[in-house]
Structures are given as C-alpha cells and as structure tokens.
Amino acid sequence: MKTTETKRLQKGKATKKRIFAVAKELILAKGYNHVTVDEICERCGLSKGAFYIHYKSKEDIVRKLYRDDMSEYMDEHFAAYAQAHPDASPIDKLRTYLALAFGFPAVVGEELTKLTFVVYLAAKSPEVPSFFANCLEPELLHGIVDDGIARSLFREELSRDDIVNNLYIFITGATMTWCLSDAAYDLAAASVKSADVLLRGLQRNPG
C-alpha cells in the first residue's frame, strides 16, 4: 500500500512538473493571451480535469513561473557576487541585492512582468505585504539584514521585518513604475540613486 501511494505521489509530481514546463514554453513563445488551458493539456496529453488537480488556473502557473525564475536568478547571481566579494559589508550586499532585483525584469521581459503584477493584483490577498515578498525567497535577504543588525548598522527602532518590508515595497513600487512607463528606461540604472537613499535612511550612521 505504501509503495503504491509513493508511486502515485511521484507520478503526480512528475505530471505537475510536465504541465509547468509545457505551459512555460508556450507562454514565453506565444504570449500569455494566446495560450489556452486546452492547448497546454493537448501538448501534455492530459485531460482538463487532470490539469485542475495540479493548478487552479493558468494564472497559477504564471505566479509560479515568475517566482521560481526570479528566485533562481537571485540565488545564482548573488552567490557569484558573494564568492567574488567575501568581505562585503551587509550594506554593500543589500545594494547588490537591489541591483539584481531590478535587473531581473529586463531578463524576463516587460510582458511577463506586467502580467505577473496583474495576476497578483487580481488575487487580492491581504496576506502578501508586497508583490515581491511572494516572488523572492526570504532566507537570503533575512541573512543579510540579520548580519547588519548584529553589527548595529541599522536604526535601532527598525526590526528585521521593518527593514525587509521596506525593501520589498521599494522593489515593488519601482518595478511597477517601470511597467507603467512601458519599460521606457533602464530600471536597474534608474534605481541606483533611489536605492542609495533608501539604504541611507535605514542605517544608524550612514557614511
């Protein structure tokens, strides 16, 4: 019985992974509005009922697509930075973290970034403090902020959550402004000064 359940679980995970891979390929190739659940199911050789066992909607796939790709991008690029700069201060790490976060939308494109905003806004979830709070793995950012708190770099009245939420809100607002401009400028370059102002405001004794 246990073996049967394990095999069933493994098959389910494989099916969900297959649906996501096919949907991602189609959405990136054709655009979200030109891909249907029927087409995804046809390519996967599945019924619509099987699709809805794993995903509530096409929008559910978009949320996962952006979240997973951004987490992978941040982890890979920040790891390379940390390896090249082992003695970097928490403030420099946060500055790099923000630069990477603002570089990602250009990598995946304006269309997918806008679409993901729309999907999250439609969800109307009061549990998500900001768009990027649900797109970024928190452990990396928490580790940097905790290090800065331990070194007394941040204003004493600010908790870890205060600092992290301000960073998330800043990333979300700047990226949404970029989307509203139809990606008319280089988001990463345009956000350098604003990021520096934010970081100075969070610090106890900014240099």
Q: Break the chain into its structural domains and give their ranges.
A: 1-55, 59-202
Q: What tens digit of pLDDT does each residue of 137-154 get? A: 678 899 999 999 999 999
Q: Name the pLDDT band for 126 (thresholds 50, 70, 90).
A: low
Q: Name the pLDDT band for 33 (thresholds 50, 70, 90).
A: confident
Radius of gyration of the chain (CA): 20
Report whether pLDDT(39) > 90.
yes
Domain 1-55 has CATH 3.90.1300.10: no
Give the separation between CA 142 and CA 199, rounded to whole angstroms: 15
pTM metric for this prediction: 0.81
- Pick 59-202's CATH classification: 3.40.50.11540, 1.10.357.10, 3.40.50.300, 1.10.287.470: 1.10.357.10
Identify the pLDDT of residue 1: 45
Q: Which of 44-58, 90-104, 130-144, 193-207 has the highest mean pLDDT?
A: 90-104
